[in-house]
Structure 1
Amino acid sequence: MAGVLILIGLVLQILGFIGLTPLPHGVGYALWLATLLLWRDIPRRTRWQAGALAAIGLGLLVLARWRYAAEIAWPTVTSGNTYVVAMLVGVSFIGLIGNRSGSKRPLGHPVTGRRGTLGTWLGVHLLGTILNLSTVFMIGDRLTRRGPLTTPQLLALNRGLSSAALWSPFFASMGVVMTLAPNMEYSRILAVGLPLALLSGTLTTLELSRRFDLSEVAGFSLSPRSLLMPVVMAALVMLFHFQLTPELSIVSIITFLLPAAALASNLPAGPRWTLHRVRQHTLSRLPAMRGEIALFLSAGLLTLGLSTLVAAATGSEWTLFAHFGPAQAVLSFLAIVASAVVGLHPIIGVSVLASTLNLSGNEQTLFAFTALASWAVGTSVGPLSGINLSLQGRYGVSGYRMMRHNLGYATAMVVLVIAVMLLNETLSLFA
């Protein structure tokens, strides 16, 4: 029942892209009902975290209504982060793309050492700028052909994707930031974010080669054969984004494109086989995403509660800082990264920060960089970030284990980001 409800949520989200909404807010209702049905099966720690986030969010909404008489559209409170959850559900269908017979093609000699690790980081980073989280599964699943993923491989996947938030115009973080700071100058973000991302790749390669013996660790080969499916999917995303459905965001395109590609790849074997695989996926893989779904939905409810209470309590006139300059950017950046370490997704900190600021035109670019850097560093180290939750759900690695291994990397990235922010005062990087 829960798997079917999750599938219904995905279908309703896709129907919404073409203007069909048979059940208003039905995506949230279906996903939340599935989460409640699976609640007892969610790992205890995740269940407590999601429950606390949801309870606090609801409590803040009740407080805003009771204390400040805020107008709250209660039927819509289940809709927070549903677009992200729908994308994750859509991405899960990538497991249905590939060899139908189940036999594995012979693998060539693996690329190992620093070169292999750099190949993994670079492959995830470049393709992830367009395909977002789906790239991690494409490359990660390919690496698992040689055995369970090792810690260096998982860290390269994590950092390759999270660092793309620093500059990619197609990344989920950029979509959020463009909404919160519509007058930011992307060219300035690119000029600073891309070099920082390249430093992240260099740092990852050097650090992992120092901490681990990479001589037998297989990496992702940037060969035409390895890149075929990711590049084809990236080309399709770009085709839909620029030509066929320019009104849809990258996240929305991925949400419907990957399930469609999965169906198309199975249809040559016949409708019965395709239906069998979709049914199997619905009854096994989708319920297995219960932890990720619960946390994203609960985080969305918390964000809604916080922003509603802040707006009601301040009359939308109070601001955290009278002026948003380098010092304020550093404080905000550190606070959001710290909140990510204790388990809050950076989108919460970024959204709350935006709701407490009144940004002028020149300040919006600095705010945008602060938000993107917070997202890049916070998602790499945060145990409950989308990338770490997905690695946990797909490959069984604990988000807290990933956090411990990423603390040194995150510290180095924090120093680099703060240096850029402070240089802004003298070089006017974001003026």
Structure 2
Amino acid sequence: MRSYLILIMCFLFLIQYFVQQTWLGYVVVTFVIASFFASVIEARGFPRIIGLIMMGTGIILEFYKGAGINGISEGMLLILPLLCLVTLAPLLSIPLKLGGYFEAIDLLLRNLLNHPKRLFAGITTSLFILSPILSLGSVRLISEFLSDLKLPSAMSAKSYLIGFSSAILWSPYFASVSLVLYYLDMSVGKYILYGIGLSVLSLLIGNMLFALWEKKHPIDNRTDPEVPLAKKSRKQLVQLALFVSLLMSCSLIIEYVTKWSMIVIVCIISCILPLIWGLITKSWSKLLPLLKNYKDQSVPMMNNEIMLFSSAGLLAHAVQGTNLANSISKMLTIVADQSFLLFALCVIILVVVITYIGIHQIAVIAALAMQLNAEQLGISTLSLAMLLLLCWSISTALSPFSGLNLMVSRIVGISGYEAGIRANGLHLTVMAILGLGIIMFIS
């Protein structure tokens, strides 16, 4: 029942985007609120607590501002596109499963066991490509491939966090890029090349630092015989890279031609692509069970995402226009007038501190995106977008309460502090310095 509730919410949003009927907007908001509370019932632990706190605080602030029900509705409608993106994007993984691409990645990684540096590069690159499609499921997938290999915990923590956090910077199929560009009213086409550049830089830095780390902490070479990849596997790996490139290209072309929101484009492609795959391959007997599995298992597993994104989005909207938000915005504007570097450092520290105590990135970064004005700051919208996404990437890897850090620390068997700061602190520091240098250069 909960799956139908969430899926109906998504499809009503897509209809509302094109028909723009006020009454339908209220209906959609009702479904968002119902989905939130249905997810709260199933959620457990810290995410449930922080989700309720953010939702309660957001509602109180909306009434305190005098916005009341209308303010709550606006907040829900603002975060609704992101909820739909998170819910529908996993449909893109279905053609990959049917095509056997995951097995090709498994074979590739196992073939690199005797070469730690190559294996590290293989893991981070695989996550870089898969994360925009599978989100956190990519980390779970790669960890399952490597579960019986007993890799050092530090190596696993470094590879998982570097690969995933690098992908956060570039893909419109990720919540980070979609949300920031959506609130800054910036097209993906104007950002994508810069985002890919930052992401590749992050990957290169991560792999270089791992090479230095591996010299001081040698990893025993495996004695497993190397088996050259079969021609079919090599072909599938090339096809996987082409698949992701084609997705990005189609999305950018559709955005350029139609001027639709990229989030809406991604949602539509996510829904249509499995059906196109079924028509081309005529493999409906294999496709239908995966669609049923998506409805019955994948959607219900999104409790934390639905709950946290809904509450964080409402809180971000509710904070906008408050005395606190206006004071912070005014302070940052004054700082930006004096020094862009000091302004950027203040933003990074603010985001890292707030997310480190458990507040989701969406709440703080969406609030900043809605509150800050690039023109008033004396910088370009591109610079502001790159700065906010750099903050998102760094805070996701550092915060012991982020979904990524919680999953990695659980898989690897170390604390969130060890996975974030100890294993990846140097990489994130270097990336912050170089990233700020690039942003200052283009600002």
User: TM > 0.5 between the two?
Assistant: yes
Structure 1: tracts of 5 or more residues without a match: none
Q: Which of 275, 295, 315 pairs up with 1:302?
A: 315
State the partner residue of 2:253.
242
User: Are residues 235 and 81 of structure 1, via their aligned partners in 2, closer, same or farther at CA, if it must alter by over 3 Å?
Assistant: same
- For residue 394 of structure 2, what is the aligned residue in structure 1? 377
Tell me whether 1:199 sits opposite 2:205 in the alignment. yes
Q: Quick one: distance in 1 between partners of 2:424 and 2:145?
A: 30
CA distance in 2, matches of 1:158, 1:428: 26
SS of corresponding position for 2:333: coil
Matched, 1:225 2:236: yes
In structure 2, relative to structure 1, the CA distance for the partners of 1:356 and 1:380 (3 Å cut) is: same
- How far off its partner does 1:378 sit? 0.9
- The one of 345, 359, 367 equivalent to 2:360 is 345
* Match of residue 329, structure 1, among 327, 336, 344: 344
Letter in 1 for 2:441: L
Q: Given the two structures, how large is their TM-score scaled by the length of structure 2? A: 0.74
Deviations 1:9-32 (A, max 9, x none): 232234345547683254443243
Letter in 1 for 2:55: A
8 Å contact from structure 1 (residues 114, 209) kept in 2: no
Cα distance between partner residues in 2 of 1:278 and 1:188: 35
More helix by share: 2
Which secondary structure does the structure 2 equivalent of 1:97 belong to? helix
Paired AA for residue 391 in structure 2: S
Counterparts in 2 of 1:5-24, with a 5 A limit?
5-16=5-16, 18-19=18-19, 23-24=24-25
CA separation of 1:124 and 1:193: change in aligned 2, threshold 3 A: closer
How far off is 1:35 after superposition? 3.1
Q: How does 1:161-180 map to 2 (within 5 A)?
A: 161-166=164-169, 172-178=175-181, 179-180=183-184
Instruction: State how far apart, in whole Å, the 1-side matches of 2:277 and 2:185 are.
Output: 40
1:165 deviates by 4.2
* Partner residue, 1:121: 124
Alignment check: 8 A CA contact 2:54 2:315 kept: yes
Amino acid at match of 1:35: F
Say which of 69, 90, 93 aligns to 1:92: 90
Higher deviation after alignment, 225-234 or 42-51: 225-234
**CA distance in structure 2 between the partners assigned to 1:190 and 1:100 by the alignment:** 28
Q: Percent identity?
A: 17
Question: Which segment drifts farther, 291-300 or 39-48?
Answer: 39-48
- C-alpha change, 1:243 and 1:370, in structure 2 (3 Å) is closer
Cα deviation for residue 50 of structure 1 reads 0.7
Q: How many residue pairs align between the two structures?
A: 416
1:154-209 per-position Cα deviation (integer Å, ceiling 9, x unaligned): 642432232244566886544544443869x9688887775455323433555478
Question: For 1:18 and 1:296, how far apart are their aligned partners in 2?
Answer: 23
One-letter code aligned to 1:290: N
Q: Distance in 1 between matches of 2:271 and 2:220?
A: 35
Q: Which amino acid aligns with 1:93?
A: L
Equivalence for 2:419: 405
Match of 1:52 in 2: 53
Deviation at residue 368 of structure 1 after TM alignment: 3.8
Aligned residue in 1 for 2:295: 282
Deviation at 1:52?
A: 0.8
What is the aligned partner in structure 1 of residue 36 from structure 2?
35
Q: Quote the Cα distance in structure 2 between the aligned partners of 1:182 and 1:98.
A: 30
Report if aligned partners of 1:180, 1:354 keep a CA contact under 8 Å in 2: yes
Q: 1:253 to 1:209 in 2, by over 3 A?
A: farther
| Mapped partners of 1:215, 1:14: distance in 2 | 52
Q: Is the 8 A contact 1:124 1:135 kept in 2?
A: no
> What are the Cα deviations for residues 311-332 of structure 1, in whole angstroms up to 9, with x where unaligned?
9977x99554324121222122
Match of 2:379 among 363, 367, 385: 363
Gaps of 5+ in 2: none
CA contact (8 A) 1:155 1:402 kept: no
The aligned counterpart of 2:268 is: 256
Q: Is the 8 A contact 1:164 1:197 kept in 2?
A: no
What whole-Å deviation, never above 9, does each CA across 1:216-235 have from its counterpart, x for those lacking one? Answer: 699xx994423423531431
Tell whether the 8 Å contact from 2:172 to 2:262 is kept in structure 1 after alignment.
no
- Say which SS state the counterpart of residue 132 (structure 1) adopts: helix
CA pair 33-124 structure 1, distance change in 2 beyond 3 A: same
> Where does 1:99-114 land on structure 2 (aligned, <5 Å)?
108=107, 110-112=111-113, 113-114=116-117
Do the aligned partners of residues 299 and 46 (structure 1) sit closer, same or farther apart at CA in structure 2, a change above 3 Å counting?
A: same
Read off the aligned partner of 2:362 and give its amino acid letter.
I
Contact residue 135 and residue 174 of structure 2 kept, 8 A: no
Cα distance, 1:294 vs. partner?
A: 0.7
The residue number in structure 1 matching 2:134 is 134
Whole-Å separation in 2 of the counterparts to 1:156 and 1:209 = 16
Instruction: Measure, in 1, the Cα distance between the counterparts of 2:282 and 2:194.
Output: 49
In structure 1, distance between residues paired with 2:38 and 2:137: 27
Q: 1:373 and 1:396 mapped to 2: Cα distance?
A: 25
Kept in 1, the 8 Å contact 2:351–2:391? The answer is: yes
**One-letter identity of the residue aligned with 2:267:** T
For residues 211 and 35 of structure 1, what CA distance do their matches in structure 2 show? 46
Offset, 1:302: 1.0
Distance change >3 Å, CA 208–CA 93, structure 1 → 2: farther
The 5 Å alignment of 1:201-216 reads 201-204=207-210, 206-207=212-213, 213=219, 215=221
- Is the Cα–Cα contact under 8 Å of residues 136 and 157 in structure 1 kept in the other structure? no
Aligned residue number for residue 159 of structure 1: 162
